[in-house]
Amino acid sequence: MKHLATIGLLVLLALTACQPQPEDTYRPTPYELPTPLFFPSQNNIPADNPMTEEGVALGDQLFHEANGCAQCHKREYSYEGGPGATLEHLGTTHTMLPLINLAWNTTGLGWQSQIPTLEDMVYAAYTDPLEINMDTAEVVQSLRQSDTYPELFRKAFGTDEITFVRVEKAIAQYVRSLVFANSKFDRYLRGEEQLSQDELNGYRLFITENGADCFHCHGGGSNALFTTHLRYNNGLDAQPEGTFKAPTLRNIALTAPYMHDGRFRTLDEVIDFYSEGVQYSDDISPLMHHVMEGGVHLTPIEKQQLKAFLNTLTDDELH
Amino acid sequence: MKTKLHIVLLWALVLAATACSNPVGSLTLTASHEVDGTPLVTDALRYTNEAGNAYLVNEVQWFLSNLELEDYEGNRVMLTKTWYIDTNLPETQTLRVPEIPAASYRILRFTFGLCDADNLSGAFGNPPESNMFWPDELGGGYHYMKLNGKYRNADSLLAPLAIHLGRGQNADLTAFYDNSFTVELPIELDVYDHRDYSLGLVMNLNQWFRTPHVYDFNTFGSAIMQNQQAQTLLKENGFDTFHINHP
């Protein structure tokens, strides 16, 4: 009887040994996405791609691979290409949009909102002949041969099997983590810093219909994303090409060239356009209230003040 | 034993109270937009207002608040605190109230827009409502309505039409005015059994521009957020803009 109990104990031990040990269990750390003051509470995190510390870390590494997204999307330019990223230089049909605060973009990505999700955008960027231009199978093969990536994928997704869908998910998680809300204007909203009189005057121009009338499309006030993420015909041409997404104006001083085709090289040129260069067409957005006068007609001082305010939207975290 | 008795009495009270206010019906309200009896067709230059302005409408986005029913005894039932309605978003055009007490209701009442007490900046964190924000410099809170479109102006060009209503201001932006107003509509709604009742709330766009003031788009132009005269005229025109459609 005593022998029988011993044998039973040994069998039990053997069976237990076959079970996964606690340290092998896939237990990623949930990533706490911050929600800054006046940001929406609803975000675009899909149910099948929750953010985790491990997923974001993997995405960060993939994003910054030699042949990855960071080739063009540079942190110091709000994850755009910088002043040299013109259409001529890029060879693309459109300029870049900044990759910041996109966790709160629920209306599609790209200048024409043509890409439904950030996961889709990763696929589009990798496979577009004018962008990264890589075969997804080659990307996966290359990562599988790496010494480090299988382990990073295992930590992020509970398996070291690398697929392109997991590449998409990891990079999308990383991009969602790019939250910027610590500009001088944010500190003003939080009561931590005072704007100069010129900056305040510029903000009043930005936020009033009889001023520069920017806010209907670019937010401000209780829309702290500084965009509606909607598309408009803003009167660039008398023969318009369609409607284009209003980009966030956060870090706008860093994201030249401006407009979908990069036609304006400086903020001054942009302000001049909205002041007296708006082109009439039947299809212009009804929110371009001053188109019949060619623009909002700011004085030189008002233009300086508006620019001073726009400069307060540059985030310290980028430096 | 005494505690048990208390519990039984308490339950009896709860049951009695529940029985008295037992909801017997539900209500589905549908918001729609028309131009003088014809359902609104967006993006089509087919409408003419009282001043003779030809116009088209791209979208109508608006808030109503404090929506309530009143019965013949003067008892009021709150249906919703705020309702955002958007011609681009069909899901916003229907409001279902799951429980309506039995009564004969004679009035549907609401505030067009948001009254000052409820019109607080930052109250709506997410789009589409958050895109209705009204700058603090102009009084804050939210647009009551954005009616966006085009009108054929005196030069026969299609000029922007933006009937944006909200808090008004004086010229130097130091005093602000509540431009919301209360709408009361007579209804015949007898709720007496367990079923879904329905009412249609209709906005006739041309009424905004008709009585008592003929509102000419050429006079006020495209931007009226900072034009309290235009806001006042539209407010005074707004009272009879709505009617009920009993399906």
Cα torsion at B225, B228, B234, B238 (round to 10°)?
100
Predicted confidence (pLDDT) per residue in B32-60, tens digit: 999 999 999 999 999 999 999 999 999 99
Contact at CB, B125 and A40, closer than 8 angstroms:
yes
Beta-bridged to residue B29, according to DSSP, are B95, B199
Q: What is the mean pLDDT of chain B?
A: 92
Neighbouring C-beta atoms of residue B91, cutoff 10 Å: 6
pLDDT value of residue B114: 96
Question: Does the pLDDT of residue A114 top 90, yes or no?
Answer: yes
Please answer yes or no on whether A286 and B149 come within 8 Å at the CB atom: yes
**Nearest to A258, CA basis, from A104, A81, A120, A110:** A81
Q: Do B226 and A209 touch (CB under 8 A)?
A: yes
- Whether the pLDDT of residue B17 is over 50: the answer is no
**Count of CB atoms within 10 A of residue B22's CB?**
11
Phi, psi of A24 (to 5 degrees): -90, -10
| H-state helical runs in chain B | 2-20, 217-220, 228-238
- Return the pLDDT at A2: 52
User: CA of B167, closest CA in chain A: separation in Å?
Assistant: 13
A228 → closest Cβ in B121, B131, B137: B131
Torsions phi, psi for B5 (to 5 deg): -65, -40
Work out the average pLDDT over B94-112: 97
Residues in a beta bridge with B63:
B84
The phi, psi pair for B74, rounded to 5°, reads: 90, 5
The runs of H, that is alpha helices, within chain A are: 2-18, 53-63, 87-90, 118-127, 136-144, 149-157, 164-176, 184-189, 197-206, 215-218, 267-276, 300-311
Per-residue confidence band for A93, with pLDDT thresholds at 50, 70 and 90: confident
Q: Which residues in chain A (24-43) have CB-CB distances under 8 A to chain B?
A: 38-42
Query: How close A303 comes to chain B (CA, Å)?
Result: 19
Beta carbons of A248 and A104 less than 8 angstroms apart: no
CA A58, CA A139: separation in Å to the nearest integer? 15
Average pLDDT estimate for A98-115 = 96
The pLDDT value recorded for residue A205 is 98
**Model pLDDT for residues B131-150, shown as the tens digit of each residue:** 999 999 999 999 999 999 99
Task: Tell me which residue has tokens 């708006």.
Answer: A278
What torsion, rounded to 10 degrees, do the Cα atoms A84, A106, B148, A204 define?
Answer: -60
Burial of A92 (0-12, 13-18, 19+ CB in 10 A): middle
Q: What is the pLDDT of residue B16?
A: 45
Residues 119 through 138 of chain B touching chain A, CB cutoff 8 Å: 121-122, 125-127, 130-131, 133, 135-138
A238–chain B Cβ distance below 8 A for any pair: no
Contact B145, B64 (CB under 8 A): no
Specify whether the CB–CB gap between B134 and B140 falls below 8 A.
yes
* Residue A73: band (very low, low, confident or very high) from pLDDT cuts 50, 70, 90: very high
Res. A216: pLDDT tops 90: yes
pLDDT for res A11: 52
Q: Which residues contact B230 (CB under 8 A, 6 or more apart)?
A: B215, B220, B224
Rounded to an integer, what distance in angstroms lies between the CA atom of residue A73 and that of residue B240?
A: 55
Where does the pLDDT of residue A6 fall: very low under 50, low under 70, confident under 90, or very high at 90 and above? low
By C-alpha distance, which of B168, B165, B181 is closest to B137?
B168
Q: For the residues A249-256, what does the mean pLDDT come to? A: 96
pLDDT exceeds 80 at position A301: yes
Query: Does residue A134 sit at the B interface (CB-CB below 8 Å)?
Result: no
Residue B19's pLDDT band (cuts 50, 70, 90):
very low
How many other β-carbons are positioned within 10 Å of the β-carbon of residue B107? Answer: 16
Provide the percentage of residues in chain A whose pLDDT is more than 70: 92
pLDDT of residue A7: 57
Contacts of B131 in chain A (CB under 8 A): 219, 223, 228, 230
CB atoms within 10 A of CB B15: 10
Neighbours of B117 (CB within 10 A): 11
Which one of A39, A209, A225 makes the best mutation probe of the B interface by having the most chain B beta carbons within 10 Å?
A: A209
Percent of all residues in chain A with a pLDDT value above 90, rounded to a whole number: 82
Per-residue pLDDT, averaged over A51-59, amounts to 98
Higher pLDDT residue, B107 or A239?
B107
Residues in chain B: 247
| Distance, CA of A6 to CA of A74 (rounded, Å) | 65
Q: How far is CA B155 from CA B47, B52, B162, in A?
A: 18, 14, 18
Give pLDDT, residue A87. Answer: 82
Confidence of residue A221 (pLDDT cuts 50, 70, 90): confident
Instruction: For the full predicted model, state whether its pTM sits above 0.90.
Output: no
Span A101-120, mean pLDDT? 96
Q: What is the pLDDT of residue B14?
A: 45
A207 vs B136: CB contact, 8 Å cut-off? yes
Q: Nearest to residue A74, comparing CAs of A251, A245, A225?
A: A251
B36 at the A interface (CB within 8 A)?
no
Q: Tell the residue number behind the tokens 């290359």, with chain if given.
A: A142
- Give the pLDDT score at B214: 98
Average pLDDT of chain A? 92
Mind spelling out the 3-state secondary structure of A30-93? ECCCCCCCCCCCCCCCCCCCCCEHHHHHHHHHHHCCCCCHHHCCEHHHCCECCCCCCHHHHCCC
- Neighboring chain B residues of A289 at a CB cutoff of 8 Å: 160, 162, 221-223
Determine the average pLDDT of the residues in A227-241.
95
Instruction: Report angle CA A170, A172, A175 to the nearest 5 degrees.
Output: 115
pLDDT at A84: 82
Average pLDDT of span A30-35: 96
Nearest to A280 by CA among A297, A270, A292: A292
Q: Residue B9's pLDDT is what?
A: 52
CA of A283 vs chain B CAs: smallest distance (Å): 9
Alpha-carbon distance of B121 to A213, in angstroms, equals 19
> Parallel, antiparallel, or unpaired: how do β-strands B23-35 and B196-204 relate?
parallel
C-beta of residue B145 within 8 angstroms of C-beta of residue B208: no
With beta carbons less than 8 A apart as the criterion, state whether A271 and A289 touch: no
Task: Over range A249-254, report the average pLDDT.
Answer: 97
- Asked whether the predicted pLDDT for residue A276 surpasses 70, the reply is yes
> Do A41 and B126 lie within an 8 Å CB cutoff?
yes
Q: Cα–Cα distances in Å, from A21 out to A25, A161, A259?
A: 7, 20, 55
- pLDDT(A318) > 80: no
Predicted confidence band at B12 (pLDDT cuts at 50, 70, 90)? very low
- pLDDT per position as a tens digit, A150-172: 999 999 999 989 999 999 999 99
